[in-house]
Chain A
Amino acid sequence: MQSKPKVRFWGSEAANGLLMISPTAIYAILLLAAPLAMIFAYSFMTDGYLKIIPEFQLCNYFGECHSYKDVNGARSVAQTYRGVWSDPLALTLLWRSLVISLVVTATTVLLAFPVAYFVSFYVAPSKKSLWLFLITIPFWTSYLIRVFLWKVILGTGGVINSGLLEIGLISEPITWLLYNANSVVITLAHAYAPFAILPIFVSLEKIDRSFLEAGRDLGESPFMTFWRVTLPLAMPGVVSAVLIVFIPTIGDYVTPNLVGGPEGKMVANLIELNYKKLDNYTLGSALAISSMAIVMAVSLLFLFLNRRFLKGNKR
């Protein structure tokens, strides 16, 4: 009986693959994984003025924290601040960010579904890429200027108000359009629309049309066919749409900054404040880690609920 020879590593497929991916992988490890690990570590350290004191503590998350500076070689307290989960302001912003991005996600995905459905089911195959191209173009055109335009559109002296005043529909400018959570939701829903449409479209495209005919053939109404056949099959696309909109919106900086006003500020603005203005990297890191933790927890909860929905639907 022949014994199995030792498999050589060099020259094997595994080695070739690793070698091939190594430039990109090393880049990602050095400039992505390592930095993320570093802010994770920073969030447990002590803030010295413009430097980090490697002393472990949890106060950036809970309780009261001190930052220090050197005065004549001795350490003195420069500032006292509250950890993320003990600071009412940070909690308010985290909560608001979560609520806003959930609302944006729900709005975006619900509004996007019929568009994806239309392009997938009603547009002739040869015209599909044209429609998708039309949908994606606004996404690629200067994010900053698009957000700013919403400010211009929604403001008291802006396009909507001046337009409505001009034609006499209103006599006073509407003020609730800008500088609050509403304007943030509108702007973000606009910005992330293609992100929601494309994954749903892709999963709708994969559905074998004969399944739907089978559903009808077996005596289901169009709506029940949609509910029991189309929607479960499109679910993977809906899931990626939800995640791909939800995760980045929670950390959006530009939109709350430009159209949010004091009532619409989000956690990214606080992170920026701590990093750029206050130079408190440890608290900034704790904020970043906390928001990532929230994102991850909500995403996992969503994936879990989705699995329950699909199971319940099988019967």
Chain B
Amino acid sequence: MNAPPKKPSREFLKPPVTEVGVLGWLHSNLFNTWYNSLLTVVVLLMLWQLVPPLFGWAFVDSVWNSPAEACRDIEGACWSVIPQNISFIVFGFFPDGHQWRPGIAMLLLLGLVIFSKDSRHWKKSLAVYWLVGLVTMGILMYGGLFGLLVVDTDQWSGLPLTFMLALFGMVAGYPLGVLLALGRRSRMPAIKTLCVVYIEMIRGVPLISLLFMSSVMFPLFLPEGVTFDKVLRAQVAIILFTAAYIAEVVRGGLQAMPRGQFEAAESLGLNYNQTMRLIILPQALKIVIPPSLGILLSTFKDTSLVVIIALYDVLKTTKVTLSNPKWTGFSTEAYIFLAVFYFICCYAMSNYSRKLEKALHTGR
């Protein structure tokens, strides 16, 4: 096999120039039929009409960091609405002069999330880091220790609130959902019925009504004097809601597992817990990464619904900014900013899930 392959007697011709390279690509992708050619031309014309003015509005005629007055007599975008109000948009009603606390808490959270992405760090020590991190974040947010001013959860708002509701919603909702999925497949009728009723009930109502119930109805049932924190109640509602949806997705994954996997595990003498933990769940959860991600993304975005029970997440703080007479009329810019923020977060999650899927692929 070391000898160079013999040159064949026939000549290898180059393909026609219209089939390869840029021309070939254009031909096969944009102009391969008459209607595709028509579509291409129409789309190009539309882009020609739309893109330059949009670009001019957003980048050329715009102001980026000026007082509100300067925005009144320009043609372009007034991005100043963001930097001029950034501390309220991000931190909301957190007391002035203490906003470094949620700031550090968020950086800590971001650091932990980035650290946890790497599968090499998935050890017992990771749980310890998270515990330490969460306690630190709690102290930073609530205060009361080390001479920090106590900041009640009523004043937690903006980005920290959004991140908190989303992160705990996902991190607590997911395992709860897995347990519910296992419960729904249980052979014990009581457990099975309980899980089915729970899942169907939660899936049968909108998140908004759950939030309402948690904030308005739930306190009515409590004895006088007993109160639960409002943020906590919203958080629980989000967790319960996410869990019900995750449960059904995970159940789908469990049903996709071939019977042989259960039998092979059982015939080795593994018990139910070991079979699930070591054999079935790792495979089933891998199968359902894409739909699970969809639910987790919804959870993240749905946190903005907490406005209806008067919690100020980042969407609401932005709205409040816009209700300031100085800044009314610049909602387009503000909402574009928010859209970009939500997109970046969701895209990062989506990207990570794709990488995870690839890393877990073992060739079958």
User: Is A bound to B?
Assistant: no
